[in-house]
Amino acid sequence: MWNEFIRSMRMEDLISNRDRELLLLPPLLTNEPGDQLPLFLLATSCCNNHCKRV
């Protein structure tokens, strides 16, 4: 679903090709259920969790 959203933003020329490539999620490497999050969201989550511990 995320990749479809990013592709639609590119089709409407709201983001550049480079932005699209950075935001697209790679195909699932495992068959485990669950949603993948974009890396920038994971990084933010990790940073927030680390900052709360300090």
- pLDDT of amino acid 9: 96
**Cβ atoms 44, 38 nearer than 8 A:** no
31: in domain: no
Q: How many domains does the chain have?
A: 1
Range of the domain at 7: 2-26+36-53
- pLDDT of amino acid 17: 96
- pLDDT of amino acid 27: 73
What is the dihedral sign for C-alpha 37, 43, 44, 47?
positive
- pLDDT of amino acid 30: 47
13: in domain: yes
Residue pLDDT, tens place only, 1-54:
888 999 999 999 999 999 998 888 877 654 555 666 666 776 766 666 656 555
DSSP classification of residue 15: S
Residue with tokens 């409407």: 12
User: How many residues are present in the chain?
Assistant: 54
